[in-house]
Structure 1
C-alpha cells in the first residue's frame, strides 16, 4: 500500500475546525524547561497549526516534520522563517515511523498524525528519552474510527465491486488506542500523564460537507489508490456521498458532524 498523496488546499478547507483540538491540546501543556525551547512537530502538514506553537513559545526554535512533499512545500512558503519573538520556524522531511530525536527537545508534539503510524505506541519510549528533564510529549489523534464516516468508507471498500482494488487500502478501527492504554504506556515510561477524550460536534456548511471534510484526510488513501482511474474514483465517491447523506442529514443550520478525539500530555520527570 503506497502512502497517500495529500492536497493542502483541500485539507485547509476546514482549517478552523481542524485547529481547535490542537489549541485545546496546547492549553494543557505545562511550562517548558528552557527559555529558548527546542520543539518538534511530528506530522506538521501545511504548517498552519505548527505556527500556533510559535505564538505560545515565541522564543522557540520549532521544526515541523512531515513526509508529504505537497504539505512541506506549502509550509515552507507560508510559515518558514524568524518569528516575532526571535525564535525560528522551519520544516523538514521525515517519516514519523522512524523519526528519532537527534538533539534534546523541550517539547515533542503531534497533531492528528499518529493514527497513520501502525504501532505508534512503540515509538513513545524513544521520543520520551529525547526530551530534556521537565520536557513534554503531547499528541492528539482522532478516535472516530467507529463513526459512520469511517465505517461506511470501509464497508464500501470491502464491497464486491471495490474489494479487489481497495480491501487493503484503509486503516482499521484499531488505528488508535483507548485513552487508558495511552495512560498506561506513558506512565510506564516514568512520565506524569494527562489523558482525556473529547467529542466535538462540528457544524459544517455547504454541499456534502462531511464528504468535503474526509476528502482532505480519511479518504486520501482511496483517492490515491484510484488516481489512475478517474471514472472509478468518481463512482466510488458518488456511492460514498449517497451513504454519507443518509448518515449525516442536513439541518436548517448546517450538518452536525460529531468527531471524537483522544489527547495525551506526558511530562518527563525534571
Structure 2
C-alpha cells in the first residue's frame, strides 16, 4: 500500500517514549469502538482518528448525535483527530478541467461515481471538522486521510489550499483489518505486524469493517498493542510525529 506521506515540517516533536509508533483508526461501523476506547485507556495509549460520516451497525451514522458522547470522551483523553472526507470519497482520477473523479461509498452503501471540483472536495474535508467541533467543542487538526490512501499531486494541492495535509501510513503499518479473512486470517495479520512494525511507523486500522467475516479487532488489537509495548514501543499521538508536529500546531481555519 502507500507509504506515509510526510508533511513539510522542519521542527522535531518530543515523542512520549524513545520508540513511538502512531496508531490511527479510520471510521467504520463502530461495532468495535467501545473495545478500542477501552484498550487505549488500559494501555495509556494515544491514537489518531480520521472521521467520515459512515453507516453504523445501529442504523445511524458515525457522526450522528448517538456517537457524539464517544467522540467527546476521546477528545477529552487527548487523542488526535483528522478528516476522512464527509462521504468517504475515494479518488479515482484527475479530470482535464481541474475536477476529480471519485468513488463515493462507505461500509454497506452502494458506490456512486461522482465528479467534484476542488472547492467541493475541500467542503468534504471541512464538514467532518465542523461536525467534530460542534460535538466536542475542540478543533480538529489540519490533517486528513484520503480514503484507500489514493491521491494525486493535484488532489493533495487542492487539500493543502484549504488547509489540510495528508497522513497515510507506513508499509508495515497496514494492519489488514479490511482484508478477506479467508486469505488473511487474524493469526497471520498479528504475526506479520509484530514482525515488521518498527519505531516511527504509522499504523492504520478501522473502527469496524463490514466485509471481514472473522472480525479483526477483538482477536488482534490487544495482543498487537501488548506485543509492541513488550518490545519497548509506545503509542503516541500524531502531533508528536516529527513529520507532522509543525503542521498540527497550526489551527485549522473553518469558514
TM surpasses 0.5: no
TM-score by length of 1: 0.33
Rg larger for: 1
**Which structure features the higher share of strand residues?**
1
Tell me which of the two structures has the higher relative contact order, counting C-alpha pairs closer than 8 angstroms and 6 or more residues apart.
2
TM-score by length of 2: 0.34
